[in-house]
Every structure is written in structure tokens, then in C-alpha cells.
Amino acid sequence: MAEAIKALEFAGVLTWQNRITRIRERCTDLFGRDGWRWRVIRTSNAYRFLDPKAADLAGVPSKSDQRTGTSDQDVSIPVPAVSIDPRSPLERALARFGAVIAAKNSIEASANPVGAS
């Protein structure tokens, strides 16, 4: 899955951010005294698909501008198959993505031929 996310990000159709929370916990310092420290914990990731025909992404907030937490996540529902339009910018982006995956698989296959040890 990590490779697919990298390929989608490389193709320019996906961006993501870590969702974090900060917790304060009790600890003991080097001299044995009680104290407090802050720890950052990743709670989840947020993924966003980008419209490839939107050339100007100046209005897109940076990863740090987005709020942490999971309250804005939607539940995915199955979408019926749609006819493919080769003139669509999304279809072209997905074709580029497919080409990147095929090239990656080809490179990996030539580096590790079947039956070779």
C-alpha cells in the first residue's frame, strides 16, 4: 500500500497528511525528580485526491493548516462503474499512474528474475 500511495503522489493525484495529537505525561528526569513532558502521537492519516485538471493549486491548504483528529472522515460507499473517457484529465492522470506502476514492476522484474537466487 505504501508503494501505491507513493506512486499516486508522484502522479500528482494524491496528497496526504499525518494526523497527530499531543499528550502530556509524567516522567522522571536524570536527577530522579518528577516532571512532565509532551509527546506527539500519530492517530491516523488523512488522504486527499487532487483534480488533475485544476492547474492552479494556490488555494490548496498546506498539510500543517489542516486540523488534527478524525471527525471529518467519510465512510466510503461502493460507486457503480463509469464509462471511461480518454479525453478526461482524470483518466489521463490515472493512465500516467498505470504507466508508473508498470515501469516499476518491469524494473523490479528485471532486477529479480524468476528462478534466480
- 34 CB-near residues (< 8 Å, 6+ apart): 26, 27, 28
Nearest to 70 by CA among 111, 117, 17, 1: 17
CB 17 within 8 A of CB 66: yes
Residue 14 lies in a domain: yes
Structural domain contains residue 94: yes
**25-64 residue pLDDT tens:** 999 988 889 988 888 888 888 888 887 776 555 555 544 4
Asked, for residue 12, whether it belongs to a domain, the answer is yes
Per residue in 86-95, pLDDT (tens digit) is: 778 888 888 8
Q: Is residue 10 part of a domain?
A: yes
Provide the domain count of the chain. 1
Q: Which residue has the higher pLDDT, 53 or 117?
A: 53
Task: Check if the beta carbon of residue 44 is closer than 8 Å to that of residue 72.
Answer: no
Full residue range of the structural domain in which residue 19 is found:
2-55+86-111
pLDDT of residue 72: 53
